[in-house]
Amino acid sequence: MSRVYRPTDYVVEKSRLSSMEKYKEMHKKSVEDPEGFWTEIANEFHWQTPFQSGNFLSYNFDISKGDIFVKWMEGAVTNVCFNLLDRNVRNGHGDKIAYYWEGNHPDDYSRVTYKKLMDLVCQFANALRENGVRKGDRVSIYMPMILETVVCMLACARIGAIHSVVFAGFSPDSLAERMSDCKAKVLVTSDGAWRGEKLLVLKKTCDEALQKAKAKYNHTVKMCIVVSHLNRVTSCGKLADPKSLYEWHDDVDVWWHDIVEGQSTICPPEWMDAEDPLFMLYTSGSTGKPKGVLHTTAGYMLYATATFRYVFDYSEKDIYWCTADVGWITGHTYVVYAPLANAATSVMFEGTPFYPDNDRYWSLVEKYKVTQFYTAPTAIRSLMKFGNEIVTKHNLKTLRILGSVGEPINPEAWLWYYNIVGGGRCSIVDTFWQTETGGHVLTSLPGATPMKPGAAGFPFFGVKPSLIDENGKEIEGVGEGYLVFSKPWPGIMRTLFGDHGRYEKVYFSKFNGYYCTGDGARRDEDGFLWVTGRIDDMLNVSGHLMSTAEVEGVLTEEPRVSEAAVVSKPHPVKGESLYCFVILNDGAKFDADLIDSLKKRVRNRIGAFAAPDTIQYAPGLPKTRSGKIMRRILRKIALGDRDVGDTSTLADPSVVEELFNNRPV
């Protein structure tokens, strides 16, 4: 039995939702009367053509009854960028700070108001239009955490182009694959960026990716727009001539500042249907090829707005900070769209928690008087190890809400976050969600719901979770099963870009009538939901989701390797790490050179965040007679745990002992 933490008076006093009863009442309304519930929020926004009653929601979640689809407010017409900027400026927030931007180097910072942000977005939107970008075109974005990234995303939204942000830690191969899959017309990047003392030459990665897109996928990106960023004080004093780091190709490359110069700050928005695409974002798929998750206009906007308001209990004078990179969904929804939709003031941070010192996060909370702080368990664990003093020497009294996202948070990290960072005053919101869900779907709510360390808590408004057993039967009350949802909420993805069949297969074919998350969950005696982790072949390393198949594919590209199997091994900071078994081709030697080459391959093909921790020599793999690898056994071997259970279904049980004997010391 884990201890229950109730919201403190400090949180409840200021909270917009201050009791469990009120939460239950609102939740009931949200699932029984979606139109009534969401109309209240929709009414805050500008609609060029208002939505028609009766046409508020239509959907099919049951593949046996026909194609899967979800439509919210089809026929209503609006523009997300207009609502985030023009509407807020008209409502008197023009001079309000939208972002305090903090660069990698502590001497490099700036701020931007809503009015200024609107001007910058309009100018860049005009530049995109002038260069032939139109409604429905795809724009790939490979950028660091700088204001131009936000400007670029919103400029796309303004003209109806679909942005596809690729995390700037991905390799040229990964970027090439993603740009080619969505047939991007334009790529936007920066010359480079510093992360701590490490220099990333993004333009060089882009050059390689553009070439690979052409050679491997026969896709040509028409234009590469480059932000000049390396000339700032961020450069740690080490960089004489940024231009010497990459090539410049006059036929595709243009400087951001050149195409923006002289552009008008007036840019009429493209009016979009509620169900027109807003953006796409690739996420790993269990078969290897990334999936282009597509979000649409109105539903995403409403859902982002509501989750931000209730989960972070945001009020007008608060200063909110989400540390996520814009390259992931958390950065999309909770660095860009949701805070701006609420006219919030956010901190946007380019650097790392460890530079110039390990207290950078806490010094920024103090500097900007942050009230809501949202980060990942892996970051919390990596900061815990520096002790409490580097936290408590800072004045963190402004904090009220602490958020966690990306993976289950272990109770030890939860308690440290709660007691040391939050001083025992703050509420922790453990937000479970996915690229596919658009916004939080399970979470605690600050003033309303109790908390248990490690439990995600309760469904957000509009969300109806169920736990299902292997036979598709719903588990009532206490129990554990597949986490699924039986109804759409406004922010759920609508399709996978260019592959609706895969969308139906991956998410809706396992259990008729349900969206399947791919995660397992447990409901306890108090009704709390605990997410137990992925139950498909996916791994979550430092909150980055990847598939075992994707990594296995890269390992077997090495000529010396004939077969590979990858499993997850628990890691004290990263949550999970990659443990790889490799079978070699005849005559190949398992040595330091091979290990090194395999690790490099994964870094180069996928990205540094995917680098395996362990590569083990495997004389064979534990397979069933039908040839299926029993990963359960491999996970035990990775752990060195000899309690492997039943091995009688294996074609050759002796392989298990051999694998134990070959564990690296």
For residues 596-635, which are near ligand WTA according to CB under 6 A?
A: none
* Contacting range for ligand WTA; rule: CB under 6 A; set: 221-229, 352-360, 516-524, 625-633: 516-524
CB 37 within 8 A of CB 73: no
Q: How far apart are CA 286 and CA 306, in angstroms?
A: 31
Nearer CB in complex with ligand WTA: 519/537: 519
Task: List phi, psi (to 5°) of 11.
Answer: -80, -45
Q: How far is the CB of 545 from ligand WTA (least distance, A)?
A: 4
Considering only 292, 408, 462, 488, the residue that binds ligand WTA (CB under 6 A) is 408
Binding pattern for the stretch 31-70 against ligand WTA, x by CB under 6 A and - elsewhere: ----------------------------------------
Residue with tokens 């001497």: 107
Shortest Cβ 405–ligand WTA spacing (Å): 5
CB of 330 or CB of 548, closer to ligand WTA: 330
Q: CA angle at residue 425 from 423 to 426, to 5 degrees?
A: 100
Between residues 221 and 531, which has the closer beta carbon with respect to ligand WTA? 531
Q: Could you give the 3-state DSSP secondary structure of residue 101?
A: strand
* Beta strand pairing call for 345-349 and 97-102: parallel
State in angstroms the smallest separation of the CB of 518 from ligand WTA: 6
From 163-171, 260-268, 272-280, 424-432, give the range in contact with ligand WTA by CB under 6 A. Answer: 424-432
Q: Is 545 in the site for ligand WTA (CB under 6 A)?
A: yes
Residue 435 interacts with ligand WTA (CB under 6 A): yes or no: yes
CA proximity to 465, closest of 439, 488, 484, 446: 484
Q: Total residues contacting ligand WTA (rule CB under 6 A)?
A: 22
Q: What sign does the dihedral 182-184-188-191 (CA atoms) show? A: positive
In the bound state, the residue with its beta carbon closest to ligand WTA is 435
Runs of H (alpha helix) within 198-243: 202-217
Q: Where are the beta strands (DSSP E) in 151-290?
A: 162-165, 186-190, 193-195, 198-200, 223-227, 253-255, 272-273, 277-283
Our finding on whether 330 is near ligand WTA (CB under 6 A) is: yes
How many C-beta neighbours within 10 Å does residue 112 have? Answer: 19
Select from 540, 568, 577, 616 the one that contacts ligand WTA (CB under 6 A): 540
**Residue 277 vs 454, nearer CB to ligand WTA:** 454
Which of residues 37, 82, 303, 432 is near ligand WTA by CB under 6 A? 432
Q: Is 441 in the site for ligand WTA (CB under 6 A)?
A: no
Closest CA to 161 of 124, 191, 192: 124
If the CB atoms of residues 172 and 406 are measured against ligand WTA, the closer one turns out to be 406
CB of 230 to ligand WTA, least distance (A): 29
Of 341, 315, 388, give the one whose Cα is nearest residue 81.
Answer: 341
The type of residue at 453 is P
Instruction: Give least dist CB 325 to ligand WTA, A.
Output: 11
205 binds ligand WTA (CB under 6 A): no
Q: Which of 434, 486, 509, 597 binds ligand WTA (CB under 6 A)?
A: 434
Nearest distance in Å: CB 433, ligand WTA: 5
In this structure, are residues 123 and 85 in contact, taking their beta carbons and an 8 Å threshold?
no
In DSSP terms, 280 is beta-bridged to 164, 294
Q: Which of 327, 331, 351, 406 binds ligand WTA (CB under 6 A)?
A: 406
CB nearer to ligand WTA: give 290 or 406: 406
Binding of ligand WTA by 181 (CB under 6 A): no
Binding of ligand WTA by 328 (CB under 6 A)? yes
Least gap, CB of 434 to ligand WTA (angstroms): 4
Our CB check for ligand WTA shows the closer of 534 and 605 to be 534
534 sits near ligand WTA (criterion: CB under 6 A): yes
CB of 571 to ligand WTA, least distance (A): 15
Q: At what angle do helices 172-181 and 592-605 cross, to 10 degrees?
A: 30
Q: Give CA–CA dist 341/344, Å, rounded.
A: 8
Question: Does residue number 174 form part of the binding site for ligand WTA (CB under 6 A)?
Answer: no
171 binds ligand WTA (CB under 6 A): no
Residues 100-159 interacting with ligand WTA (rule: CB under 6 A): none
Cβ burial of 592 (10 Å; 0-12, 13-18, 19+) is: exposed
Q: Tell me the DSSP string of 103-170.
A: -SSTT-EEEEEHHHHHHHHHHHHHHHHHTT--TT-EEEEE--SSHHHHHHHHHHHHHT-EEEE--TTB
Cβ neighbours of 463 (radius 10 Å):
26
Instruction: Choose, by CB under 6 A, the member of 359, 407, 537, 550 that binds ligand WTA.
Output: 407
What lies within 8 Å, CB to CB, of 522 at 6+ separation is 467, 479, 480, 529, 530, 532
Q: Using N-to-C axis directions, what is the helix angle for 172-181 and 202-217, rounded to 10°?
A: 50
The 264-293 site mask, x for binding ligand WTA (CB under 6 A), equals: -------------------x----------
What gap in Å lies between CA 436 and CA 434, rounded to an integer? 5
User: Residue 463, interface with ligand WTA (CB under 6 A)?
Assistant: no
Helix 114-130 / helix 147-159 crossing angle, nearest 10 deg: 60
Exactly one of 431, 449, 466, 577 binds ligand WTA (CB under 6 A); which one?
A: 431
Give yes or no for a contact between 140 and 225, defined as CB atoms under 8 angstroms apart. no
Q: Taking contact as CB under 6 A, which single stretch among the options 76-84, 299-307, 400-408, 464-472 is the one that binds ligand WTA?
A: 400-408
> Which residue, 148 or 177, has its beta carbon nearer to ligand WTA?
177
Helix (H, G, I), strand (E, B) or coil at 467: strand
Among residues 517, 542, 577, 616, the one that binds ligand WTA under rule CB under 6 A: 517
Applying CB under 6 A, the span of 246-254, 432-440, 587-595, 604-612 interacting with ligand WTA comes to: 432-440
Least Å from the CB of residue 440 to ligand WTA:
8
430 lies in the site for ligand WTA, by CB under 6 A: yes
Minimal distance in Å, beta carbon 330 to ligand WTA?
Answer: 5
Taking Cα atoms as reference points, which of 98, 563, 26 lies closest to residue 340?
98
In the 3-class helix/strand/coil scheme, how is 599-638 assigned residue by residue? Answer: HHHHHHHCEHHHCCCEEEECCCCCEECCCCECHHHHHHHH
Piece of the chain touching ligand WTA by CB under 6 A; list 30-38, 65-73, 79-87, 323-331: 323-331
Sheet of 479-485, strand order: 465-468, 479-485, 515-523, 529-534
What does the block give as tokens for 483? Answer: 């986490």
Mark the segment that binds ligand WTA (CB under 6 A) among 250-258, 315-323, 431-439, 581-589. Answer: 431-439
Binder among 168, 348, 370, 405 for ligand WTA (CB under 6 A):
405
Which residues would be at the binding site for ligand WTA (CB under 6 A)? Answer: 283, 328-330, 405-408, 430-435, 456, 517-519, 531, 534, 540, 545
